[in-house]
Amino acid sequence: MHAMVLKKLGTGLESTDRADPQPGRGEIRVKVAACGVCRTDLHVVDGELPDPKLPIIPGHEIVGRIDALGAGVEGLSVGERVGIPWLGHTCGVCPYCLGGEENLCDRPVFTGYTRDGGFATAAIADARFAFPLGEAGGDVELAPLLCAGLIGWRSLVIAGAGKKLGLYGFGAAAHIVAQVAKWQGRSVFAFTRPGDLAGQAFARSLGATWAGGSDERPPAPLDAAIIFATAGDLVPAALKAVRKGGRVVCAGIHMSDIPSFPYRLLWEERQLVSVANLTRKDGIDFLRLAPEMGLVIRTTRYPLNQANQALADLRAGRFEGAAVLVP
């Protein structure tokens, strides 16, 4: 197999050839057809997340076909198309797993962070955490659904049912969530970096009612806001933008420090929560509904060996929507 490997934090990925991995008991091997590039991959490469496995193959938005089954795998077959998400494995016995909150498992394994991911021609996955994808839709367009879509979906559910929804940071996740929210009959208010007129136009093209800079106030108080961007100073900005009883959801795995802010921004029962990881139920719920939503997924394709360029372009905001690596 061929892979783009992070050997040392803060350095580029190295193009590497390895022997094909063999699936162990309960595992599948997937021939990767496409793998999305997520902001979290940047956090892994930059060493912003604790204790990554090194060396590591990043990538947790994998679409591919099963080409080998380990012992004991049931319900999946060779040739079947599956998606492999961020949540790679859970312990199944901790209080969170037993309580239906496997996203908070005490001993999880995360694809592309603590087990090898999809910036490669092949990947191994725990069969129970792979999602059958069926045959509808292209591999490249499906890949961003595996994290941007799934985490976006979980964030949207946790944001509640309010009609006026703010999205801070209009990248891969927000460009999907905006369409989901519109499909649900909500109004979307998109906040980009100040002056990012192209991003604001992109948001409006996807149905946003209003788009502006994150330093602007929306034309009406919001029922809820989801922050996908990594700047902690968006937290007080979003709290200012939501109505009494409104909710602000931090959807990213990493954020810069949140500046101190006056208590009156939280007062009147505003809520500030974070979203961590996903459960398999999130994936099943979202992937079942997604085909009905008419989602238009904007992707920029890169050959696998240009993974470093894709990461650099993501960091610099040089494309709209999602980057996807194709082996």
Residues that bind Zn ion (CB under 5 A): 38, 40, 90-91, 94, 97, 105, 147
Residue 93 or 220 with smaller CB distance to Zn ion: 93
Tell me the closest approach of the beta carbon of residue 104 to Zn ion, in angstroms.
8
Residue 195 in tokens: 């002056």
Residues in the chain: 327
Tell me the closest approach of the beta carbon of residue 40 to Zn ion, in angstroms.
4
Phi, psi of 163 (to 5 degrees): -80, -30
The sign of the CA dihedral 84, 86, 91, 94 is: negative
Residue 37 or 124 with smaller CB distance to Zn ion: 37
**Can you tell me the distance from the alpha carbon of 89 to that of 128, in angstroms, rounded to the nearest whole number?**
8
Tell me the closest approach of the beta carbon of residue 265 to Zn ion, in angstroms.
29
Tell me the closest approach of the beta carbon of residue 105 to Zn ion, in angstroms.
3
Residue 8 or 107 with smaller CB distance to Zn ion: 107
Residue 85 or 162 with smaller CB distance to Zn ion: 85
* DSSP assignment string, 113-179: TTB--SSBSEEEEEGGG-EE--SSS-HHHHGGGGTHHHHHHHHHHHH-S-SEEEEES-SHHHHHHHH
Tell me the closest approach of the beta carbon of residue 106 to Zn ion, in angstroms.
5
- The angle, 0 to 180 degrees and rounded to 10, between the axes of the packed helices 197-205 and 172-183 is 30
Residue 69 or 287 with smaller CB distance to Zn ion: 287
Tell me the closest approach of the beta carbon of residue 50 to Zn ion, in angstroms.
17
Q: Which of 33, 35, 129, 27 is nearest to 68 (CA)?
A: 27
Residue 4 or 239 with smaller CB distance to Zn ion: 4
**Can you tell me the distance from the alpha carbon of 27 to that of 69, in angstroms, rounded to the nearest whole number?**
6
The number of C-alpha atoms within 13 Å of 317 and in the hemisphere containing its C-beta is: 13
Tell me the closest approach of the beta carbon of residue 108 to Zn ion, in angstroms.
7
DSSP H stretches of helix in the chain: 39-45, 95-98, 139-142, 148-159, 172-183, 197-205, 234-241, 280-289, 307-316
Residue 181 or 278 with smaller CB distance to Zn ion: 278
CB 84 within 8 A of CB 115: no
